[in-house]
Amino acid sequence: MAEETVTKNSPTEKTTGGENTVFDDKDNFTVSHPLSARWVLWFDIPKHKVEAANWMATLKTVYTITTIEEFWGVINNMAKASQLPAGSNFHFFKEGVKPMWEDPENLHGGKWIISTPVQSGKDGVLDRMWIDTMLAVIGQVLTDSESEVCGCVCSPRKAQNRIALWTKSGDQRKIQEDIAKKWKVICQYEAGLSYQVHSEASKRNSSFNNDDKFTA
């Protein structure tokens, strides 16, 4: 087989400032890419059901992410979702919004829920869907409104794993259904989604065992 050669100034080799380089712009290669909003990654591992005030004490801030480079730096240097103990949670929320039902931004909202078998934590599916969800959130590709998506939560459990997408307007069916359609495509998720409002969850003090307001 003939030896392949790369000629000077070919598509894989650029000339910048008199130097040969494979980069279109070698000087800006390390420039960071700020996100349109700051996002906070939280972690908690409550041992049992607790009241809101006590639950906040179990919630720990992992990192505040401001650039896409910081996002990947955090993702590549922390435990995967599939490695979390059953009963723990990752929370990824816009800065200023606490991952709790009572927060003013969440008070009238709800969440879309993806449920997957425990096997999803062993075959990489849970990790892929969680990262894809976070990327969709920081990229603001789920809705035109910058304030509608409040955050997302990953909840590994013994019986099944869940990812929840928290939104602000729990009474807006069209907005929520549009978000759900996009999220299912992004996560390559073909099963049905359920939408539960936070007010119902707060009354029952239950994260997931509530009536569905919408389905998709």
- pLDDT at residue 201, as a whole number: 72
The strand pair at 214-215 and 160-167 is best described as unpaired
pLDDT of residue 6 exceeding 50: no
pLDDT in tens, 142-176: 999 999 999 999 999 988 999 999 999 999 999 99
**How long a stretch of residues is the chain?**
216
Domains of the chain: 14-215 (3.30.760.10)
Helix (H, G, I), strand (E, B) or coil at 162: strand
pLDDT of residue 15 exceeding 50: no
pLDDT of residue 65 exceeding 80: yes
Work out the average pLDDT over 185-193. Answer: 96
Give the Cα separation of 18 and 104 in Å (integer).
Answer: 56
Considering only CA atoms, which of 61, 73, 163, 53 is closest in space to residue 112? 163
Please give the single-letter amino acid code of residue 7.
T
Lowest mean pLDDT among 17-26, 101-110, 134-143: 17-26
Q: How far is CA 106 from CA 15, 60, 65, 96, in A?
A: 52, 19, 21, 11
Give the Cα separation of 197 and 167 in Å (integer).
Answer: 9
pLDDT of residue 30 exceeding 80: no
Mean pLDDT of the chain: 84
The strand pair at 194-197 and 214-215 is best described as antiparallel
Q: What percent of the chain is modeled with pLDDT above 70?
A: 78
Tokens of 108: 């009238």
pLDDT of residue 109 exceeding 90: yes
pLDDT in tens, 80-91: 999 999 999 999
Work out the average pLDDT over 190-212. Answer: 77
Q: What percent of the chain is modeled with pLDDT above 90?
A: 64
Residue pair 39/93 in contact by the 8 Å Cβ criterion: yes
Query: Does the pTM exceed 0.85?
Result: no
Check residue 205 and give left, alpha or beta (phi > 0: left; psi -120 to 50: alpha): left
DSSP 17-62: TTEEESSS-GGGTT---EEEEEEEEEEE--SS---HHHHHHH-EEE
Higher pLDDT, 49 or 212: 212
- pLDDT at residue 199, as a whole number: 78
Our CA angle for 162, 163, 164, nearest 5°, is 115
In the structure, what pLDDT confidence band is assigned to residue 116 with cuts at 50, 70 and 90? very high
pLDDT of residue 11 exceeding 50: no
- pLDDT at residue 214, as a whole number: 81
Tokens of 51: 């009241």
